[in-house]
Structure 1
Amino acid sequence: MRGRTVLVTGGTGGIGKETARGLAAMGARVILVGRDRGRADAAARELGRDGAEVSAFTADLSRLDGLRALAAEVGARHDRLDVLVNNLGGMSSPRTLTGDGVERTFAANVLAPYALTCLLLPLLRAAPAARVVNLTGGMPGGRIDPANLQGERRYLGWTFSQYNHAKTALMAMSRRFAARVAGDGVTVNVAYPGHAYTPGNRATAAAAFPYAYRPLAPVIRLLGPRLLNDLAKPARSSIYLASSPEMEGVTGVYVNAKVRRTPWPAAVLDERACDAVWDLCERLGGATP
């Protein structure tokens, strides 16, 4: 990865930070993106201790103006981008809207990767063989409901179903995006990291305990740090898609936590569902590749 520039969203902690660490160790020039300036700078200093070139940007990626500002700042400092890892994700309960009026879980997991990739396409197209890696999560693969993409009719909340729904929609968007930019020298693939006891999961679990998962709270607090604390393992699939020579020119594929290509879920192959997700992203994001 020496000589290549990589941007990792949500790169100040958890799986994103381990992805950035792995790519920096391969010689990549890494750009971390986080929401908090102090955490972002601290992560960049930590990952750059052994001479790796790591810089930090801050942005609120739940807002379109934050995405646009980030793209403009990256474009001002770099003339190309070799890899974009859309690692940032999140859940929200109860249903809330961003300042743009978008349901927050959909905004973080689907709209932000879509819009940021569109905004950074000029830099990606300037690279000889650019790669976009989108991270799914949770337990994706259920039905995509075109009439409930933002929880308008029924918000599925802390059963994690709203998150799973959004991550399945992300997969559908990614597959369509790969087809749309297939002739541009830009590949788009999806990585599934598996489960890990990340800071985001700890916060999610803590918020969920007063609701559906209260009886499981002691078990999660006891076993989570012991069984799921190796964050290098769930970062393997995204690192593989970002760096492996085997993936040169390969687009529109889904790689599981064992770093193996796996078939797309049936919902992701449903063209009607894909159309609904894509059309909503185009409308809300105000951009198209």
Structure 2
Amino acid sequence: MLSSDGTPKTVLITGSTGGIGKETARGLAALGARVILVGRDLSRARQAAAEIGGRTEAIAADVTRLRDLTRLAADVAARCDRLDVLVNNVGAHPPRRTLTEDGVELTFAAHVLAPYTLTRLLLPLLTGRVVNLTGGIPGTPIDPGDLQAERRYLGWTFSQYNHTKTMLMAMSLRFAEQVAGTGVTVNVAYPGHAHTPMNRSMTTAGFPYAYRPLVPLLRLAAPRLLADLAKPARSSIHLASSPEVEGVNGAYFDAKCRRTDWPAAALDRRAQDAVWALCEELTVSLAL
């Protein structure tokens, strides 16, 4: 991954000290990129960077906090004169409704507000691609009146997790419209399913009662069927690095790196408006 001047491209990846994010970092580092890992714990991020090797470095930030996002953007600007690729990979799955220090529902903060805010903050540095990672089972209808699950919260499979991942897709489409023609592109990657550290911490608390007996079965089967994390990282790596997607904007790619149709829920203009407006409202203090 070299820029036009022959220097390594710089890639920033959130949620990259483990799971799919770490494998995405590993894959891009192997292609010669300068990779900046972002994790909540600096020692863990540094350990991951040392393990991956190459031109890999680490920054600590909790991207569900607006103050950390602001600091992260300033830190990146101090280190880099440009950012070629931003991969918004971080995920969260609290079994119960949880608020961040900014009073934002945690899953929405991780999956929607953080990618929106960090991308906006880094636009002056960005020269190329933004890759937003969806997941779970996206595509369920977006409820514009309950974006932060104030009325009803379900964890895991039936869930605010999936709801926010569809919201991420809707927000990404709107962002792609905003940056069209600037040289920056915004696309969404679907990784498929994986046995990540996040999923290994699964409890029954977020499941509807009727489905809680499935949890032991999932714990038994997942390590055997979904252990290879390099496979679900392929779509992110493809969107971040492949010459085939140079200039492609506002597209959705599946786990096999194929361009595919957006779910109808993400295309809903009313839902896009609601998600975008909430992101703007929650970040008004940052003057974005």
Q: TM-score, normalised by structure 1?
A: 0.94
Matched to 1:5, the amino acid is T
Matched to 2:100, the amino acid is T
Shift of 1:144: 0.5
Give 2:138's aligned residue: 140
Name which of 49, 64, 69 aligns with 1:44.
49
Shift of 1:47: 0.5
Shift of 1:219: 1.4
Name which of 40, 62, 65 aligns with 1:63.
65
Shift of 1:217: 2.8
Q: Deviations over 1:144-171 (max 9, x none)?
A: 0000000122223344411100000000
User: Aligned residue pairs: how many?
Assistant: 282
Could you tell me how far apart the structure 2 residues matched to 1:231 and 1:206 are? 24
User: What SS class does the counterpart of residue 133 from structure 1 fall into?
Assistant: strand
Could you tell me how far apart the structure 2 residues matched to 1:247 and 1:288 are? 32
Give 1:91's aligned residue: 93
Q: Is 1:25 paired with 2:30?
A: yes
CA contact (8 A) 1:20 1:30 kept: yes
Q: Is 1:102 paired with 2:104?
A: yes
User: What SS class does the counterpart of residue 103 from structure 2 fall into?
Assistant: coil
Shift of 1:204: 2.7
- In structure 1, the gaps of 5 or more residues are none
Shift of 1:37: 1.4
Counterparts in 2 of 1:109-124, with a 5 A limit? 109-124=111-126
Counterparts in 2 of 1:1-289, with a 5 A limit? 1-2=1-2, 3-48=8-53, 52-124=54-126, 127=127, 130-205=128-203, 208=206, 213-286=211-284
- The alpha-carbon distance between structure 1 residues 220 and 74, as it changes in their structure 2 partners (threshold 3 A), is same
Q: Which aligned segments of 4 or more residues in structure 1 are displaced greater than 6 angstroms?
A: none
Structural RMSD (CA): 1.6
Matched to 2:263, the amino acid is P
- The alpha-carbon distance between structure 1 residues 178 and 224, as it changes in their structure 2 partners (threshold 3 A), is same
Q: Deviations over 1:235-275 (max 9, x none)?
A: 00000000010111110000011111111110111111100
Matched to 1:101, the amino acid is G
Q: Deviations over 1:24-67 (max 9, x none)?
A: 0000000000011121010000011xxx1000000011100010
Could you tell me how far apart the structure 2 residues matched to 1:159 and 1:18 are? 23
Could you tell me how far apart the structure 2 residues matched to 1:252 and 1:201 are? 28
- The alpha-carbon distance between structure 1 residues 225 and 206, as it changes in their structure 2 partners (threshold 3 A), is farther
Shift of 1:228: 0.2
User: What SS class does the counterpart of residue 147 from structure 2 fall into?
Assistant: coil
Could you tell me how far apart the structure 2 residues matched to 1:178 and 1:272 are? 17
Could you tell me how far apart the structure 2 residues matched to 1:39 and 1:223 are? 28
Shift of 1:218: 2.6
Could you tell me how far apart the structure 1 residues matched to 2:77 and 2:210 are? 44
Shift of 1:212: 5.7
Could you tell me how far apart the structure 2 residues matched to 1:160 and 1:154 are? 11
